[in-house]
Amino acid sequence: MLLKDKVVVIAGASSGIGAAAAKLFAEHGAKVVLGARREKELRAVANDILGDGRQVAVVPGDVDDPEYADRLVDVAKKEFGGLDAAFNNAGQTGPQTMVAETDPRVWADIIQTNLTSGFHAARAQIPALLERGGGSLVFTGSFVGYTATVPGMGAYAASKAGLVGLVQNIAVEYGSKNVRANALLPGGTLTRLAMDATTNPETEAFIASLHALKRMAKPEEIAKAALFLASDLSSFVTGSAMLVDGGNSINKV
């Protein structure tokens, strides 16, 4: 029960890593506020949690909307009395195009979803954490843009690299007030964002070969790392970019 009676906002909770984290955090005693654009899928995740007798609130919406971050925090306060942690997990890869061929509107859209939404989340969440005497912010980054990159992913790499910088700044600005901020950098994970790896064995095998462990992660494995960063197990960890990439960043064979 690493999050017993803690209130946690989880964005991007309708599937994949976010859904796995929602269930895992609730199993560890958290009262969870779940956000995502796809309301039907989001409510299905919430129903699974409620079926186990846990406490959950659902707030459908788009992280690209600055006011949505405020709504998530408002619901956390009204339903459960405050906010202790957040897992800002929403994101997109976007189309794979070389930098010189990238439409500026596509660039702006990816930066908005992956980086600017993180700013909106932090702006709304930090004051709520301070009201509770501190807490933990976790942002989903990527090894892409940190230890390596992939042709055609310039906007994605830039957005995720920027997210690490944002995390470091939050850690420096609010560490003395007991607010921790960390970036979680997954490797290839079996979610709908991993090209067609969940349905095509050849794609899965190729992505798996890029990792030292020679396999892709299950969403639940990344969720366990998020649980570590959100909980007091990581009480002296802040400003980090924590690789949970199965050795992707070091593998050359």
Residues identified as active-site: 156
Kindly give the pairing relationship between strand 241-244 and strand 85-88: unpaired
Distance from C-alpha of 34 to C-alpha of 52, rounded to nearest angstrom: 16
Q: Is 105 exposed, middle or buried (0-12, 13-18, 19+ CB in 10 A)?
A: exposed
Which neighbouring-strand residues pair with 88?
11, 139
Distance from C-alpha of 157 to C-alpha of 141, rounded to nearest angstrom: 9
Distinct helix (H) and strand (E) counts, the chain: 8, 7
Amino acid at the residue 150: V
Take residue 253 and report the two structure tokens written for it.
Answer: 């064979």
